[in-house]
Structure 1
Amino acid sequence: MNTQQKYSFSFPTAIRFGAGVIAELGAYLKSQGLSRPLLVTDPLVRELDFFKKICVQLQEAGISVEIFSEVHKNPIKSDVLQGKEAYLSTQRDGIVGIGGGVGLDVARAIALSIHHPRDLFDYDDLIGGDKYVTEPIPHFVTIPTTAGTGSEVGRSAIISEDESKKKRILFAPSLLAKMVFADPELTMELPAFITAATGMDALTHNIEAYLSKNWHPMCSGIALEAIQLIGKSLEKATHAPDLASRSDMLMASMMGAVAFQKGLGVVHSLAHPLSSLLDTHHGLANAINLPQGLAFNYPGCEEKFDQMALMLGFAKGEGAFLPAYINDLNSKLGLPTRLSAIGVLESHIPTLSALALADFCHPNNPKPVTEKDFETMYVNAL
């Protein structure tokens, strides 16, 4: 800690957590004077039984439901603009985001766009666009259906440009949901692959937040507790899910999203280009690259690695084993462990490395990273 510096801290919104809390959604909306929400989700969630049940429950409560789900796997600007048009043309009075990171990011970006008429990417936080977020946001509720991104408690949305697929980050404190309904029952039917990939996303969030060079001891403590939850729950949630393991993973996911306001790091900068260039699932990209990122960061961070290892059940002073542990965990979860298994070619590496260097996450990494470092990590993961 720099005793000569002043710091600002903040934490997210109201959360209703537990099995069955989704049944409270209709009553909550009515208590807020809302009767015409836009439900924003993705095409897969829209077809699931629990989503259809939510719609029926809302309609039975006298609430008019309009659904928007025309979104890409890695959402783009035109998705958001179409959602804005759906909101305005059907005269909605609030937004309910339901899903994983895709549905919730698009929902949050739509909420931003409703009363902010500038071009969407004028609000990009990386170019200071948050200063333009000055108008009220429609009443915004989030409902997570995966345990990975933690987007439900976030204040930002990552949306890509349509053509270049360059990722932009929309951020403002006012983009926090007014209420989160985190119901682990909604995650019970997730396939093993999605459970594993999103779970590794949550683990990466917490590890990178803990390692971030920024000082935020509250986030560091939250990240460590979440690492422990994931260590004891992820394999169970993937291969033999029960309510306890799914609850632990959902909580750890939200904790990761709280913690990474402290910053992320090199693993996310390795992962983002894979989603942009090859449309790789974000959690899977994190999972494969996490061992390399940990190996890169270990020298100089030994004490923090030892602390994380303790949370995962290792003996004192065994932090050096974490890269191998993560690689083995990926195998146990049924995830690929090499980039070549997801279609990455050696010829992709120069482009991936340049994109990684331009990414917005690695400046918060505990140590500097060069384009050559990115190339080496990609090669080692290939």
Structure 2
Amino acid sequence: MSIDHLRADWHYPTSMRVGPGRVRELPDLCGELHMRTPLLVTDPGLAQLPLVTQAVAQCRAAGLEVAVFSAVKGNPNGRNVADGVQVLRDGGHDGVIAFGGGSAMDAGKAIALMAGQRRPLWDFEDVDDNFQRVDVAGMVPVIAVPTTAGTGSEVGRAAVITDDGSRVKRIIFHPRMLPAAVILDAELTLALPPLITAATGMDALAHNLEAYCAPTYHPMAEGIALEGVRLVKEYLPIAVADGGNLTARQQMLVASAMGATAFQRGLGAMHALAHPLGALYDVHHGLLNAVLMPYVLRANGAAIAGPMERLARYIGLSETGPDAVLNWVLALREQIGIPHSLQDVGIDGEQLPRVGQMAAQDPSAATNPVHLNARQYSELCARALRGAL
């Protein structure tokens, strides 16, 4: 398949412009959404790089009064959002361009949500019907431009924000947090180093895999997840080994968006554990999912045997037994340089009981194929800590 075949306009789950070089359409897209003074939200590492400075220059050349906010942590917190909202209000900005990885996506969407709200951010946590508290008129539109292929937050209706007071990652949700438009441009991911490419790519795999395994009824999401896993299998090793391969980069951006679309069906224990571990230890979310993945697959083994055999056949594994997908995941992790244990990424065992309690209460736990209590989550985390599969 030539790279030209990967250029398209999609309208599911939102308006999407797909293909290398399409970031140059950003000024036109702002105009279509009636943005005149957008706030570009990114992270400190990207803010001074050409991919951001050129996008800003193009917007300004088109007459847009764009400003940049980049005080966003790798795991964005409530203070980051509050600071961004203040900048947005002070500058009279009428929209947000979320430009970067998952942290910029989540922070940008939360800032856009909070633009004209009078309630505090945590009042909109994804619990019960809290989203109905949102004053929709106080929201501003978002254009999402991902520069990593992992979280898929550009097609999500929520943002994961750390509450530093309680050291808990909270999911902020509203249906209209879904960005109004998305640009999936593989050229923006070419500079990603192999380790970040691997960790973010495994995050995309985690989303697709957990959505596929979730026990809820959503055949459309299940089908999307199935194909998302296949794309990761085919293209993630290429993207890690040859970062300049535009086809692999573009297909991984698509796989990432597919994962976030599919997990309307639900997630599971990988995310239930990654959320508290990320909040407590400030470790990259995708890397945590990558390390936890085989341990969770083993823990869920009996409940997902049938789906795993179907998945093994679909993605073309040479074996199709109940452990086929697990063995493939282990081989993939080794191939792309993912550590085997949580200890290898700086996690210690001092807070295992707390991690277990937080995981059991995490919204992602509700759709894990096997119900696990706090003690079982602690034990699962302990196995991942030791590397005892």
Q: CA deviation at 1:316?
A: 6.0
Q: Is the 8 A contact 2:290 2:333 kept in 1?
A: yes
Once the two structures are superposed, what CA deviation does each residue of 1:342-375 show, in whole Å capped at 9, x if it has no partner?
Answer: 1222333222222212211011111211223212
The residue matched to 2:204 in structure 1 has which SS? helix
Q: Distance in 1 between matches of 2:352 and 2:53?
A: 43
- Aligned residue for 2:185? 183
- Aligned residue for 2:157? 155
- Aligned residue for 2:74? 73
Corresponding position: 1:299 with 2:305: no
The code of the aligned residue for 1:338 comes to: S
Q: 2:347 aligns with which of 341, 344, 347?
A: 344
- Aligned residue for 1:269? 272
1:110-121 paired onto structure 2 within 5 Å: 110-121=111-122
The code of the aligned residue for 1:20 comes to: G
The code of the aligned residue for 1:366 comes to: P
- Aligned residue for 2:6? none
Aligned length: 373
Q: Distance in 2 between matches of 1:353 and 1:32?
A: 44
Superposed CA RMSD in Å reads 1.5
Q: Distance in 2 between matches of 1:51 and 1:147?
A: 17
Q: Distance in 1 between matches of 2:163 and 2:378?
A: 25
The residue matched to 2:352 in structure 1 has which SS? helix
Give % identity.
38
Q: Is the 8 A contact 1:307 1:319 kept in 2?
A: no
Q: Is the 8 A contact 1:43 1:69 kept in 2?
A: yes
Q: 1:142 aligns with which of 141, 144, 148?
A: 144
Q: 1:11 to 1:370 in 2, by over 3 A?
A: farther
- Aligned residue for 1:371? 374
TM-score (norm 2): 0.93
Q: Distance in 2 between matches of 1:328 and 1:30?
A: 47
- Aligned residue for 1:233? 235
Q: Is the 8 A contact 1:141 1:180 kept in 2?
A: yes
Structure 1 unaligned blocks of 5 or more: 1-9
- Aligned residue for 1:284? 287
Q: Is the 8 A contact 1:308 1:319 kept in 2?
A: no
TM-score (norm 1): 0.94
Q: Distance in 1 between matches of 2:27 and 2:12?
A: 26
Q: Distance in 2 between matches of 1:93 and 1:145?
A: 23
Structure 1 segments, 4+ long, off by >4 Å, are none
Q: Is the 8 A contact 1:147 1:250 kept in 2?
A: yes
Q: Is the 8 A contact 1:227 1:311 kept in 2?
A: no
Q: Distance in 2 between matches of 1:87 and 1:127?
A: 29
Q: CA deviation at 1:129?
A: 1.3
- Aligned residue for 2:62? 61
- Aligned residue for 1:165? 167
Q: Distance in 1 between matches of 2:31 and 2:383?
A: 54
- Aligned residue for 2:18? 17
Q: Is the 8 A contact 1:12 1:154 kept in 2?
A: no
- Aligned residue for 2:315? 312
